[in-house]
Chain A
């Protein structure tokens, strides 16, 4: 660390510089043996202190990551499936970002995307399961990785920041999550795109430095001819460094001694350690000389060094790369959000649409199965779960009682129960129960157990095959593979192969086909209306204007916004136009108008459902929807000005006719001019001033 800072501060008068030796394997080897030493002492300690079935889960942090990764490689290679689970610092960045029944398919994805982009994953549970035919049981290797998005490489201007949802942090605290361990010792990571970017930046920098120095040549000594003195200097230095290098390899003990040049007392080459390697500390050279040294001797070396740093920063992504390259069946529980986090953290930025996203995710994880889908979709499993809650711990207790509570069931029932043996380091147990609910490693283990048991209920017979079963291609499971709940509330299932919503065939069981009734084109979003106005009052106002049967329902987004669904599509535009008219005229009629109660205060905004999508896709997250819409509004003002102008013109025309209530036919004609149903009241004044001109032109 010391060395690097010396290197970067080349502008101080006395220039010090560090020449790094390329590779010194002896030190590395020593370092590695240190790690294995420490891990073996831990084994010893654990085995002496733990009893048969309650040994601790394998917690992985910075210090034991290398060794754990090496072990995990073998486990995953042999595994039949790998269960995963994540703990995050939050789920929704604002109350209105929660999943609503009124969220269309594309909006559900946008909400998940927002969550995966803003929050951090702090714990990652990986649990490979392997069927052991001679034991007639599964062997599970639960791993609990602590993650922390530390910035390991420099040069990235954007800071590493993440959002914390206060209630989620409180929830983690309730289950004794160790924040200290996470922040101090958590494993960091670099996504594929981050790595690519960093390497790109590195290349650019070294190219740039070359250009930079060459341009300096041009400016300074107007030719590319190197002065004789320079050549002599660099040759002399090369010799010295070679000498130093040889001397160092010859005599290991002399690493820390000062090694002075004989003829010049000001210029010093001092052996120091730079990142566990012997290095030279050069003192007393001019910056021009340094540039020469750097160009001739260091460029490649430094570049390699930086590259190594980037490679080392990949960290936990090695686990994801492992899961991806082995193409194992990934098992999760209600895992759409988890998978989105995996994509965002370890692959790259999330695509803007669900379709692009699923196509991309399938490249990395071709087989994903979700136990929540399995439990709700298969009739067999539903019978067993007796339609009770399919939360992970409930399902686990119900399907795997022998593991969940350690109860030995009678012989007959026992036969149907899949045995799962847990192995942590060298200890094994058939009824292991760490009891740490909402710990990613344990949750992954539970998910895997539930999956194994559900497979057995579906008729997958593990015992038949002498070796392991190919679950990814098992006919009994094909129906469920690559289906995930996009939103549990709506019961919407997304098919990862197509990116489409799964047709109702298997998913709608247990759900009222309620959401099919939602007509998004009939829906209007209303926000920033007078505070404390209740949905029933709003309905009353609307019914007075558009008729008692005009409103299908009113749904609160939060206290500042509601969805209003009209019975007829044309009422949407009728309302928007009417609202505009009322706001533009100050005559007593508009004050007495039934809608004035809703429009009171002049801040009330309304828009079609498409605007809701725009608001959801923004990266901003204000707590209240009205504030959010206002903040996002800045962005769309420009885009929407055109349709707004058109409407304004029509409104002008209408206002001149002094009509507040026009018959429906007339209004449909008027509004047909606006084709995408993007429309909102724009508060800017200049639109008004432009309007008459527009209107005249049209006449």
Chain B
């Protein structure tokens, strides 16, 4: 295996992308040897990628979707718990479609990355005419426009994209189709067959054979016979029993003969044709059928069976899509999602999480920026080799994120000493080091500057853990307001705000307030519920429309899928719903989040 890998490395050194310090210029204007795969070259590529997947140490994946979130608050925000983040990712994965799926099996060997990048173009075409894999999907025009600017060929994708079925869908399809035989056989051709001499001889022979067999069958039913005689008779006439019915096997050697026999059999009204393919043929046919049914999922299955660690960026979003499109519909809770995903992919590594290990990088969300940062700080050279040969002069930039992920991962591994540096050592020895980084789902991946208002003056250096019980959502303030203004307004209104508080805008009309002193959030909500009695400023603000809700309401919004464009409307609706119900399990222990950083939830904790 090792030998083979080295062979591949040395094959085409000309094409490889060279040292790291040239990386950035390569990134912008040089060709990326990413193999673009559509329906027409899928079959050949599948064999190719299979070898690479099994020979490489890691597999990087990156998805290009038709959209991500419909309004600002619906993306994963820093104050989201794992549950809320999952529900948001689930909502997106169920609505949008994956158009490009980039896969890059790669190995890291002594400051060298050997990568085999592929970019698959997908389209959920209903190949089986069963309303699968996807009846419809949403598109965001900004996403499509951005793809168009990169030169993405939508025509090629829609005309020639690879379709797929998820594992669950394949089961459903099998349930419905039953007989996997190609349909062309089932219906004799409309046009009358022109017989050659050989054909008519064949047909005559078969006809007489069937007649004899039929006669013997009918005869033998009438009289009881000696066992030996009946067995002999069966051997002579070639009769057998299929299930409880008598049957006759006819060996044939060509498709033409199948057609001829089917036509001949039409003369016999009481006979049913049954095609039994030869064993080898059967296997081939099944493979072909699987390929047609599973389509791109074959690649996902290969990754799954290889048990190789899968590297991604913003793993929760990517894997919500992968789960919903290629495995099964997404379960309703994050715990079920984790266990279901773990059964398919044993190790999932999020480069975001690794980046956070290095400290200041935790703010770098964008891949090229992260690579640039690492290059400046850690000058160890890292070469990237792409051994595969690509024909044509076309600029193949689609799916380059997967190379960036590979590169970033390799660098981070070197820095964090996850992967051994000697070429002799195998991945298996390093796996234990990697283990502690795997399967961490980090719901938060955005930097604070992504928030609508960056006026907030909270220390960005240190992060503090805070229970979500101390968070309050606030909306209904007059007009547009900056977080700073709102904070100063609140500060003067009531004594609960006299302590340390932080205010941020979750979207245009809704803010989130952090009470660092425990119990103050509850007190504030009580004041709000009482309509602001004994507190004139709050009373005034309430009369102007100020509303507040606890974190549980926010969670409920996501659980009930109240995906209103504005968070304020969604919270309002959730409150309406809640008013009809008794306060459900108010004693439940509320999770904590890391304010201004992110909550990390380990998959293995459960």
C-alpha gap A174/B339 in the complex (Å): 41
Q: Which of A159, A180, A208, A623 contacts B153 (CB 8 A)?
A: A180
A157 sits at the interface (CB 8 A): yes
The 8 Å CB contact of A161, one of B125, B138, B153, B480, is: B138
Q: Does B242 contact A (CB under 8 A)?
A: no
Asked if A226 CB lies within 8 Å of chain B CBs, one says no
| A164 touching B138 in the complex, CB below 8 Å, given contacts A11-B454, A686-B582 | yes
Q: Restricting to B139-178, which residues have a CB under 8 Å from any CB of A?
A: 139-142, 144-145, 147-148, 153-155, 158-159
| A159 to B96 Cα, complex, angstroms | 13
The answer to the question of B134 belonging to the interface, with a C-beta cut-off of 8 Å to chain A, is yes
| Chain B residues, Cβ within 8 Å of A158 | 70-71, 565
The answer to whether A180 touches B155, judged by C-beta atoms less than 8 angstroms apart, is yes
**Chain B positions 561 through 581: 1 when the CB is less than 8 Å from some CB of chain A, otherwise 0:** 100011000000000110011
Tell me if A65 is interfacial: C-beta within 8 Å of chain B.
Answer: no
Complex Cα spacing A549 to B101, Å: 57
Q: Tell me which residues across on chain A come within 8 A of B188, comparing CB atoms.
A: none
Instruction: Give the distance to chain A from B452, nearest Cβ to Cβ, in Å.
Output: 9
A621 contacts across to B, CB distance below 8 A: 136
Tell me the complex Cα distance, A162–B145, Å.
13
A166/B140 contact (C-beta < 8 A), A159-B67, A208-B480 known: no
Give the chain A neighbours of B67 by CB distance below 8 A: 159, 161
A235 at the B interface (CB under 8 A): no
The reply to whether B139 and A162 contact each other, CB–CB distance below 8 Å, is: yes
Q: A62 to nearest B CB, angstroms? A: 12
Q: A304 interface residue, CB < 8 Å from B?
A: no
Q: Which residues does chain A contribute within 8 Å of B158, judged by CB atoms?
A: 169-170, 173, 179
Residue of A93, A166, A204, A638 ringed by the most chain B CB atoms within 10 A: A166
A582 at the interface (CB under 8 A from B): no
Known: A159-B142, A180-B154, A184-B148. A164 touches B135 (CB 8 A): no
**A-chain residues with CB within 8 Å of residue B144 when the two chains form the complex:** 148, 183
Q: Which residue of A lies closest to B135 (CB)?
A: A623
Docked-complex contact B154 and A179, CB < 8 angstroms: yes
Cβ contact within 8 Å between B577 and A638: yes
Q: Which residues on the A side are within 8 Å of B147 (C-beta)?
A: 183
Whole-angstrom CA separation of A651 from B154 in the bound complex: 59
Among B69, B155, B561, B582, which residue has its beta carbon within 8 angstroms of that of A178? B155
A212 vs B481: C-alpha distance in the bound complex, in angstroms? 9
Choose one: A148, A159, A173, A641; the contact of B159 (CB below 8 Å): A173
Report the minimum CB–CB distance from A54 to chain B (whole Å).
23
Shortest CB-to-CB span from B163 to chain A, Å, is: 9
B591 touches A (CB below 8 Å): no
Is A167 an interface residue when CB atoms closer than 8 A count as contact?
yes
A93 engages B561 (CB within 8 Å): no
| Known A-B contacts A163-B136, A180-B153, A686-B582; A150 and B141 likewise in contact (beta carbons under 8 Å) | yes
Please determine whether A166 and B136 come into contact, CB atoms closer than 8 angstroms.
yes
B576 contacts A634, C-beta separation under 8 Å: no
Which residues from B are CB-within-8-Å of A204? 479-480
Contact with A along B484-517 (1 / 0, CB 8 A): 0100000000000000000000011000000000
Residues 259-302 of A at the B interface (beta carbon under 8 Å): none
Q: Which residues of B have CB within 8 Å of A212?
A: 485
B131 CB–A CB distance under 8 Å: yes
Q: Is residue B2 within 8 Å, beta carbon to beta carbon, of the partner chain? A: no
For the complex, give the distance between the alpha carbons of A641 and B123 in Å: 44
Interface set, chain B 30-79, CB cutoff 8 A to A: 66-67, 69-72
0 or 1 for each of A615-647: is its CB under 8 Å from B? (1 = yes): 000000101000000010010011001000000
A245 in the interface (beta carbon within 8 A): no
Within 8 A of B (CB), among A131-181: 148-151, 157-167, 169-170, 173, 178-180
Scan residues 72-99 of chain A and give those whose CB is less than 8 A from a CB of chain B: 89-90, 93-95
A205 located at the interface, meaning its Cβ lies under 8 Å from any Cβ of chain B in the complex: yes
B141 touches A161 (CB 8 A): yes
Contact size range, B: 35 or more
Please indicate the chain A residues that have their CB under 8 angstroms from the CB of B155 in the complex.
173, 178-180
Contact B145 A208 (CB under 8 A): no
- Name which residue of chain B comes closest to A179, CB basis: B154
Alpha-carbon distance A222/B507, docked complex (angstroms): 31
Interface 1/0 per residue, B82-97 and A, CB below 8 Å: 0000000000000001
How far does the Cβ of A349 sit from chain B's closest Cβ, in whole Å? 13
Which among A94, A157, A167 is the interface contact of B565 at CB below 8 angstroms? A157
* Residue of A whose beta carbon sits closest to that of B147: A183
Asked if B239 lies at the interface with its beta carbon under 8 angstroms from chain A, I say no
Is B566 a contact partner of A180 (Cβ separation < 8 A)? no
Q: Which residues of A contact B123 (CB under 8 A)?
A: 169
- Once the chains are docked, how many angstroms separate the CA of A204 from the CA of B481? 12
Contact yes or no, A95 B565, CB < 8 A: no
Query: Is B124 an interface residue when CB atoms closer than 8 A count as contact?
Result: yes
- Whether A148 contacts B136 in the complex (CB less than 8 A), given A159-B71, A638-B580, comes out as no
List chain B residues, Cβ under 8 A from A205: 480
Whether B479 lies near A208 (C-beta < 8 A) is yes
A-chain residues with CB within 8 Å of residue B125 when the two chains form the complex = 166, 170
Whether B126 sits at the interface, judged by CB under 8 Å, is yes
Question: Which of A202-228 touch B at CB < 8 Å?
Answer: 204-205, 208, 211-212
Query: Is B202's beta carbon under 8 Å from chain A?
Result: no
Given contacts A170-B125, A180-B153, contact A151 B71 (CB under 8 A): no
Q: How far is the CA of A623 from the CA of B69 in the complex (A)?
A: 21
Question: Is B560's beta carbon under 8 Å from chain A?
Answer: yes
User: B160 — nearest CB in chain A belongs to which residue?
Assistant: A173
A178–B157 Cα gap in the complex (Å)?
12
B195 at the A interface (CB under 8 A): no
Q: Which residue of B lies closest to A219 (CB)?
A: B488
Q: Which residue of A lies closest to B131 (CB)?
A: A95
B479 touches A151 (CB 8 A): no
CB atoms of A170 and B148 under 8 A apart: no
The 5 closest A-B pairs by CB, nearest first: A179-B154, A158-B565, A160-B141, A165-B136, A161-B140
28 CB contacts below 8 A, A to B, read A94-B135, A150-B141, A150-B145, A157-B507, A157-B565, A159-B70, A159-B142, A160-B141, A160-B142, A164-B97, A165-B135, A165-B136, A166-B137, A169-B158, A170-B126, A178-B155, A180-B148, A183-B148, A183-B154, A204-B479, A204-B480, A211-B479, A631-B561, A634-B577, A637-B580, A638-B577, A684-B581, A686-B582
Listed in ascending order, the chain A residues whose CB lies under 8 Å from chain B are 11, 89-90, 93-95, 120, 148-151, 157-167, 169-170, 173, 178-180, 183-184, 204-205, 208, 211-212, 621, 623, 631, 634, 637-638, 641, 684, 686
Given A164-B136, A166-B124, 17 more pairs with CB closer than 8 A: A149-B141, A160-B141, A161-B70, A162-B139, A163-B137, A163-B138, A164-B137, A165-B135, A170-B125, A173-B155, A173-B159, A178-B155, A180-B148, A184-B145, A638-B577, A686-B581, A686-B582
